[in-house]
Amino acid sequence: MIPRSTAIPKSPSWQRQLAQSFTRLSTFLEWLGLDRSELSHLCDDSADFPFRVTRDFASRIHKGDANDPLLLQILPLQQESIVADGFSLDPVGDTHAAVSQGILQKYHGRALLITTAACAIHCRYCFRRHFPYQQQHLEKQLSDETLEKLNTPEISEIILSGGDPLTLNDKRLAQLLLQLTQLPHLKRLRMHTRMPVILPSRVTPELVGMLRDFPLPVTTVLHINHPNELDESVASALRQLHHGSRHILNQAVLLRGINDSPEILRQLCEKGFEMGILPYYVHQLDRVHGSAHFQVSKQRALKLETQLREQLPGYLVPKFVTEIAGKESKMPIGKF
C-alpha cells in the first residue's frame, strides 16, 4: 500500500478520458469497423495537424458508416494537400491582429486570448490549423505587461479562445480568471469551447463553481455543426453549465456534405434549443489551406438561410456570416 503522504493524486476523470482519446487513425478505424482499403483517399501523414478525437465524440459516430457526418469532420484526407485558389494559411488575418503574445484584437471593445494550443479534437476545417501557436499563446500566468495591455477602457470584453480554453486544468483556469478580475473596465467574459460537447465530463462542479463565482456575466459559445453531436451526456453537461454560464450560444461552420441541408440545420437549432443553447452564427467556411473540400457556395448558403427562416421562429435562426480579414465585424454573407 502506498503511504498516504506519497500517494500520487488521481487526475480528474475528464483528464483521464482526454488521455484515452484516439490519436492513431488505424486504431480508430479498426474500432469503428471500417476497412482501410475502402478509404483510399485517407491521408496517412498529417503530422502538422494530426488526427485526434475523444472517445465521447467517437461514440456518436455510426459504426461502419464511412459517410457519417461526425466522422467526416475529423478524417484527414488527401484532399487537404490541394492548393486551392483563395485559400491560405491565415484566412482571417489572425497574425495581423496580434497586439502582443497571445492577444488578438480585431473588433471594437474586445480582446481575444489564445489561452492554449491544445484541443480535444482536431477538426479538419479548423481556421487555426496552421496558427503559429509556438509564438502566439499566453504564458502560464498573464504577465504584468499583458495585464497592462488589457487594462484599458477600450476593452470591455475578454474572449477566452485557443485551442480550447477548457483543456486547461482548473488551477490554470482559476489563476487566469483571478487575474482577469483585476481589470476594472471589463464588463463581460466570453469563452469559446467545444469541450462540453467533445468531452462532457469536463463540466465538473468545480468548473461550474469557478464560472458562477466570476464577478461578471459569463457567456459560453459552443461549436456544434450537426445534431448528432448532441446526446444525453451533452444535455446533462449543459444543465450543469447553465449554473455557471449566463448564456450558452452555438456557432456552427457550414460544411459541404455534413450540414449543408435545411433539415440538418433546422434539427441542429431545435435540438440545441431543447438543451438550452441559442443559435448564434452559421459561419461560411474560413478559407484555410487544406479545407477547400468543405466549402459551400455563397448562393447555397443564402438559400439555406432563407429556408431556415421559413421553417423556424426568428430567435432560432442563426446569423449566416463570414469573416473577412481586416473588417471591423463579421459580415452577413449576403453583403460581401
Binding site for ligand SF4 (CB under 6 A): 119, 121-123, 126, 128, 163-164, 194, 223
Of 146 and 225, nearer to ligand SF4 (C-beta) is 225
Of 126 and 254, nearer to ligand SF4 (C-beta) is 126
- For the bound state, the minimum distance from the C-beta of residue 21 to ligand SF4, rounded and expressed in Å, comes to 13
Cis peptide before 163 (omega within 30 of 0): yes
CB atoms inside a 10 Å sphere around CB 293:
18
CA–CA distance, 91 with 127 (Å, rounded to integer): 7
Of 122 and 202, nearer to ligand SF4 (C-beta) is 122
- For the bound state, the minimum distance from the C-beta of residue 122 to ligand SF4, rounded and expressed in Å, comes to 5
- For the bound state, the minimum distance from the C-beta of residue 39 to ligand SF4, rounded and expressed in Å, comes to 21
Of 123 and 238, nearer to ligand SF4 (C-beta) is 123
Of 124 and 266, nearer to ligand SF4 (C-beta) is 124
Of 118 and 147, nearer to ligand SF4 (C-beta) is 118
- For the bound state, the minimum distance from the C-beta of residue 49 to ligand SF4, rounded and expressed in Å, comes to 8
CA–CA distance, 23 with 122 (Å, rounded to integer): 10
- For the bound state, the minimum distance from the C-beta of residue 71 to ligand SF4, rounded and expressed in Å, comes to 15
- For the bound state, the minimum distance from the C-beta of residue 163 to ligand SF4, rounded and expressed in Å, comes to 6
Burial of residue 276 (CB within 10 Å: 0-12, 13-18, 19+) is: middle
- For the bound state, the minimum distance from the C-beta of residue 194 to ligand SF4, rounded and expressed in Å, comes to 4
Of 157 and 164, nearer to ligand SF4 (C-beta) is 164
Q: Where do we find the cell 488589457?
A: 150
Of 34 and 123, nearer to ligand SF4 (C-beta) is 123
Maximum Cα–Cα distance across the chain: 68
CA–CA distance, 183 with 151 (Å, rounded to integer): 6
- For the bound state, the minimum distance from the C-beta of residue 120 to ligand SF4, rounded and expressed in Å, comes to 7
